Amino acid sequence: MKDLLTKGSIPILLGTGGVGKTTIAAALGLAGASADLNTAVITVDPSERLRDALGLAHLGGQPTRIGGRQLAAAGLDRQLRLSAMMLDVTGAWDAIVERLIADPATRRRIFDNPFYRSLTAEFAGSEAFAALQQLYDLHQTGAFELEVVDTPPASHSFEFLQTPARLIRLLDSRTARWLFTPSLSAGRIAMKVASKAARFVVRELERFVGANVLSTITDFFAAAAESMDAIVDRLHKTEALLHSPAVRFVMVTTTEPDRIRQARELLGQMDSEGLKLAAIVINRFLDERTWSAVADSAERPLSHLAEISELRSSLTRGDGDADGFGRLIHHFEEYRDRTLDEIERVAAFARELPPGVKLAIAPEIEAGVRDLAALWRISRYVTSGTAILKPLEAAASRLRARPRPHQGDGSPSLKGSS
Listed by start position, the domains of the chain span 102-143+159-242
Across the chain, what does the average pLDDT equal? 79
Q: Give burial (CB, 10 Å; 0-12/13-18/19+) of 344.
A: middle
Helix spans in 210-357 (H): 214-223, 225-242, 257-272, 288-296, 303-316, 322-352
Q: Please, what's the b/e burial string for 350-384 (b: 16 or more CB within 10 A of its CB; e: otherwise)?
A: beebeeebbbbbbbbbeeebebbebbbbbbebbbe
Instruction: Give tens-digit pLDDT for 293-350.
Output: 777 766 677 888 888 877 777 666 555 556 667 788 888 889 889 999 999 999 999 9
User: Residue 222 has what pLDDT?
Assistant: 76
How many CB atoms lie under 10 A from the CB of residue 407? Answer: 14
For Cα atoms 407, 411, 415, give the angle at the middle one, nearest 5 degrees.
75
C-beta of residue 153 within 8 angstroms of C-beta of residue 45: no
Least confident of 125-134, 189-198, 314-323, 378-387: 189-198
Task: Determine the pLDDT at residue 124.
Answer: 55
Q: CA 102, CA 92: separation in Å to the nearest integer? A: 17
Instruction: State mean pLDDT over 215-239.
Output: 78
pLDDT of 418 over the 50 cut: no
Range from 18-22, 109-113, 185-189 carrying the lowest mean pLDDT? 185-189
pTM passes above 0.85: no
Mean pLDDT of 157-180: 65
Torsional class of 140: left (φ above 0), alpha (ψ -120 to 50), beta (otherwise) = alpha
Name the band, by pLDDT with cuts 50, 70 and 90, for residue 84: very high
In whole angstroms, how far apart are CA 362 and each of 52, 281, 382?
21, 8, 5
What CA–CA distance (Å, rounded) separates 357 from 251? 10
What pLDDT does residue 2 have? 85
Q: Which of 122, 123, 242, 228 is nearest to 171 (CA)?
A: 228
The answer to whether residue 289 scores a pLDDT higher than 60 is: yes
Contact between 24 and 1 under an 8 Å Cβ cutoff? The reply is no
pLDDT above 80 for 386: yes
